[in-house]
Homo-oligomer: A and B are copies of this chain.
């Protein structure tokens, strides 16, 4: 039987898509720089057994599998390669269990992050990881990329919220990792090895999640600074003084300017602020007041032009709107590609200053927004998508920002991943011994290079070009 017939027998004919007009929607994620190809088929399983059957069939036919969730990724990790089977887990979207007494949930990979958040909130529980795409990204994608978000400064990233996984391996066998208990050290931590492996080691078909008590409604402090050095100093002092806000975001002048134009309102201090810091504390009334008062003081001492704190929820949400609106605000000026570097928190100001220089060098607008609380910055480059020259300059800026992040003691990806867009940079960061170790583990678990070849560190497969005009 040929592969397509086997796949149709395994999952049903309506769950195997081959019409290029239909499969086009499954060819790529949100990263314009990453190459993508033409899949043989897109398969939409509804059970673990179906995933096993698909994996076995593809293994037999030596056809690569690219697992994917909603496609909100920003590294091309879920991009199709020519002739592959795209295994889209979006129909496996059931919340199988919520156990409030043990603060855990068991879910399929296609559950949308926001749907999970809403479901557990009814039990007074909280699933922390909140990538910006939380209203459409899936838990499976979050697991595969070890997704972060705005809450990480206090609550950590996806790997901190996963107790165990069910993974279909390259031979179609089902591996169960981890446990349902809070602690456990029985064997290697395979759970955390699969988290962030970007679909290169297996297909996650189930996850057991550790939940937290729902935090208190947050208070919000906004501070506008006349220089990024002053804002960076405030961040360092907040860290040093032992304050742990539940959110601490930074916007540079280019972000502020774009958002002010977009929202037609002033979000800085009224005369072109150089940086805006938005902090929240959800520690409960008195503690939040104390924490935000301390943050206000630090900001004032660091030279802020304006500091404002509110415990009004609606106002707090509105203040966060400025931060959340940056990408949309930039679309007025052209297409954007967002970079992702994480630097030591003491080096944030240097990173932003460096991005200003890069912006001047390449002659393109670069707006920096980021999670100041953990040093994870997203410099976002704006370019004209119809100009090959601007695209090339944007690509150059993208790489220059990564080099800058590394030179500041940082990493080339804080939360978006390597995918198909930072493979050389991964090699650069982890060096030959690190690369060899990665290859040894990949070969041990996926000797036929079945899963997501060409992603992360394996040789690039044949694929069409990135979005160059």
Q: Is the CB of A431 within 8 A of B176?
A: yes
Q: Is the CB of A145 within 8 A of B185?
A: yes
Q: Is the CB of B183 within 8 A of A375?
A: yes
- A180-B344, A239-B101, A242-B124 given as contacts; is B414 within 8 A of A185 (CB)? yes
Q: Among A125, A186, A429, A438, which residue has the most Cβ atoms of chain B within 10 A?
A: A186
A14 and B412 alpha carbons, distance in the complex (Å) = 44
Q: Is the CB of B146 within 8 A of A182?
A: no
The smallest beta-carbon distance between A443 and chain B, in angstroms, is 7
Q: Among A102, A145, A156, which residue has the most Cβ atoms of chain B within 10 A?
A: A102
Q: Is the CB of A417 within 8 A of B185?
A: yes
Residues of B within 8 A of A190 (CB): 434, 437-438
- A344-B180, A445-B440 given as contacts; is B185 within 8 A of A415 (CB)? yes
A29 and B211 alpha carbons, distance in the complex (Å) = 36
A190 and B418 alpha carbons, distance in the complex (Å) = 15
The smallest beta-carbon distance between A441 and chain B, in angstroms, is 6
Q: Is the CB of B187 within 8 A of A434?
A: yes
- A188-B196, A284-B287, A409-B180 given as contacts; is B342 within 8 A of A239 (CB)? no
Residues of B within 8 A of A156 (CB): 160
Chain B CB within 8 A of A244 CB: yes
Chain B CB within 8 A of A380 CB: no
The smallest beta-carbon distance between A413 and chain B, in angstroms, is 5
Q: Is the CB of A189 within 8 A of B180?
A: no
The smallest beta-carbon distance between A293 and chain B, in angstroms, is 14
Stretch binding the partner chain, chosen from A41-49, A167-175, A322-330? A167-175
Q: Is the CB of B102 within 8 A of A426?
A: no
Q: Is the CB of B441 within 8 A of A146?
A: no
The smallest beta-carbon distance between A218 and chain B, in angstroms, is 15
A356 and B196 alpha carbons, distance in the complex (Å) = 43
Chain B CB within 8 A of A430 CB: yes
Chain A residue total in the interface (Cβ 8 A): 93
Residues of B within 8 A of A418 (CB): 185-187
Chain B CB within 8 A of A240 CB: yes
Q: Is the CB of B152 within 8 A of A183?
A: yes
A456 and B462 alpha carbons, distance in the complex (Å) = 41
Q: Is the CB of A240 within 8 A of B345?
A: no
Closest B residue to A235 by beta carbon equals B101
Residues of B within 8 A of A376 (CB): 181-183
29 contacts between A and B (CB under 8 A): A100-B240, A101-B240, A102-B239, A102-B344, A124-B242, A145-B185, A146-B189, A169-B437, A175-B434, A179-B342, A179-B410, A180-B344, A181-B342, A181-B374, A182-B373, A183-B342, A185-B418, A186-B413, A186-B430, A187-B418, A187-B434, A187-B456, A188-B197, A188-B201, A189-B196, A213-B241, A286-B287, A437-B445, A444-B444
Chain B CB within 8 A of A365 CB: no
Q: Is the CB of B286 within 8 A of A159?
A: no
Which residues 404-420 of A sit at the B interface, judged by CB distance below 8 A? 409-418
Chain B CB within 8 A of A457 CB: yes
Q: So how many copies of this chain end up in the complex? A: 2
1/0 contact trace for A126-146 toward B, CB 8 Å? 000000000000000000011
Residues of B within 8 A of A124 (CB): 242
Q: Is the CB of A192 within 8 A of B457?
A: no
Q: Which of B186, B422, B441, B443 contacts A412 (CB 8 A)?
A: B186
Q: Which of B102, B186, B239, B429 contacts A186 (CB 8 A)?
A: B429
Q: Which of B176, B375, B433 contacts A174 (CB 8 A)?
A: B433
Chain B CB within 8 A of A343 CB: yes
Chain B CB within 8 A of A276 CB: no
Q: Among A182, A185, A195, A436, which residue has the most Cβ atoms of chain B within 10 A?
A: A185
Chain B CB within 8 A of A148 CB: yes
Q: Is the CB of B102 within 8 A of A146?
A: no
Chain B CB within 8 A of A103 CB: yes
Q: Which of B342, B417, B437 contacts A182 (CB 8 A)?
A: B342
Q: Is the CB of A175 within 8 A of B433?
A: yes
A186 and B413 alpha carbons, distance in the complex (Å) = 6
A201 and B189 alpha carbons, distance in the complex (Å) = 13
- A145-B185, A182-B374 given as contacts; is B445 within 8 A of A239 (CB)? no
Chain B CB within 8 A of A261 CB: no
- A188-B197, A240-B101, A430-B186 given as contacts; is B342 within 8 A of A411 (CB)? no
Chain B CB within 8 A of A236 CB: yes
Q: Is the CB of A411 within 8 A of B152?
A: no
